Structure 1
Amino acid sequence: MAKCTGTDTPPPVFAVVGKPEPDLSAPFRPGCLAVVLDGVRDPGNVGTIIRTADAVGADAVLLGKGCADPYNPKTVRSTMGSLFHVPVVTGDLRSLLPEAKRKGIRLVGTSLQATASCYELDWKPATWLLMGSEADGLSADSIALMDEAVRIPMRGKAESLNVAMASTVLLYEAMRQRMFSKQQ
């Protein structure tokens, strides 16, 4: 068992399973909420974002070029099973993002220069949340297609949040507005 796992203390059981075929229509559903990762290379961050997307009921997670493999052992462990609950689609963002816009899906990204707070944005319409790598941020191609840029307000002296934590804050705000808004 120790030779078949990458952990110091392997669990007493493991399985070999086939990769699920993602529902390619899931990110394009009416009223969808999806997370789009653009060059997020850390498998722990990718796994945590997949797990958070599952927790808030997002329709899908899309992984563009340069992202960690969703089946990397660290990614799989970080999802805590959510990899099998939420569709994870890998593809070319240069074709997926324009297709989303053609279908009326709003593309929202984060930016330290954004003036709008994430709490001011209406998260109820069909939205894809674009998140870039911590080192490079969103690619120029993704930025050029964004409809809205938001920031997460911070009171302390931290310059920014880890991409997984920032995604969590934004996804939970989207869920709060979609599920718990008094104006439903």
Structure 2
Amino acid sequence: MSAAVIAKCTDTKTPQSVFAIVRKEERSAFPALLEQPDALVMVLDGVQDPGNVGTIIRSADAAGAAGVILGHGCADLYNPKTIRSTMGSLFHLPVIEGSLEQLLPQAKSKGARLLSTSLDASLSCYTIDLRVSTWLVIGNEGQGISVATARMVDESVFIPMQGQAESLNAAMASTVLLFEAMRQRN
């Protein structure tokens, strides 16, 4: 292809000259995710930055999570930046898009504990047992989790920090939680 055609097909400055057209998979991995004992699942509630969404998927894959749930308001899973940020993990890990108001109660009914982060929490992420079925809920970069999702959460934890940073971004907070869960489980 000519450079002009390649430029129309991508938004990167120095793209690879390899392209593919693929069909989105239609089957839902959600029922299988519900049946996994002691599943570790990452839940995104309105995470809008495609780089954060992709990085969280990549971290979930690296930490051995069972899957990732993208609630409404999250960046498009098929945004080029999201896909690039997953570094291929999108093809190794179930990623489910849907309404958290519908999906999370089903997870709770199967014994999953919903855990979120909060600067106001009294429990450290290093003192809570993450070996049981745990669905880690991360909220929007500026607003946190929605009021509706917060009503479903069982517990909130904070990530201890020694420096002067006010908080971590969504991808970094997710990675800390995922790798603490991996450490406890191994």
Normalising TM by the smaller chain, what interval? over 0.9
Given the alignment of the two structures, is residue 129 of structure 1 paired with residue 150 of structure 2, yes or no?
no
Match of 2:159 in 1: 152
C-alpha deviations, 1:8-39, integer Å up to 9, x for none?
Answer: 00112122222234422243111101000000
Partner Cα separation in structure 2 for residue 145 and residue 3 of structure 1: 44
1:135 to partner: Cα distance? 0.7
1:98 to partner: Cα distance? 1.0
Match of 1:119 in 2: 126
The percent of aligned pairs where both chains have the same amino acid is 61
1:23-38 paired onto structure 2 within 5 Å = 23-28=29-34, 29-38=36-45
When structure 1 is superposed on structure 2, of 99-108 and 11-20 the one drifting more is 11-20
Match of 1:10 in 2: 15
Contact 1:26–1:59 (Cα < 8 Å) also in 2: no
The secondary structure found in structure 1 opposite 2:30 is coil
Q: What RMSD over aligned residues (CA atoms) do the two structures have, in Å?
A: 1.0
C-alpha deviations, 1:87-136, integer Å up to 9, x for none?
Answer: 01011101111111111100000000001100001000001000001111
Partner Cα separation in structure 2 for residue 49 and residue 7 of structure 1: 21
Moved over 3 A (4+): none
Any unmatched runs of 5+ in structure 1?
Answer: 180-184
Give the TM-score taking structure 1 as reference length: 0.94
Match of 1:45 in 2: 52
The secondary structure found in structure 2 opposite 1:25 is helix
Given the alignment of the two structures, is residue 97 of structure 1 paired with residue 104 of structure 2, yes or no?
yes
Amino acid corresponding to residue 118 of structure 1 in structure 2: C
Give the TM-score taking structure 2 as reference length: 0.93
Partner Cα separation in structure 2 for residue 140 and residue 92 of structure 1: 14
Given the alignment of the two structures, is residue 78 of structure 1 paired with residue 85 of structure 2, yes or no?
yes
1:172 to partner: Cα distance? 0.2
Match of 2:3 in 1: none
When structure 1 is superposed on structure 2, of 15-24 and 66-75 the one drifting more is 15-24
C-alpha deviations, 1:25-67, integer Å up to 9, x for none?
Answer: 2431111010000000111100000011111111110011100
When structure 1 is superposed on structure 2, of 104-113 and 25-34 the one drifting more is 25-34
Any unmatched runs of 5+ in structure 2?
Answer: 1-5
Amino acid corresponding to residue 6 of structure 1 in structure 2: D
Partner Cα separation in structure 2 for residue 161 and residue 31 of structure 1: 27
Amino acid corresponding to residue 170 of structure 2 in structure 1: V
Amino acid corresponding to residue 19 of structure 1 in structure 2: K
The secondary structure found in structure 2 opposite 1:31 is coil
Given the alignment of the two structures, is residue 54 of structure 1 paired with residue 64 of structure 2, yes or no?
no
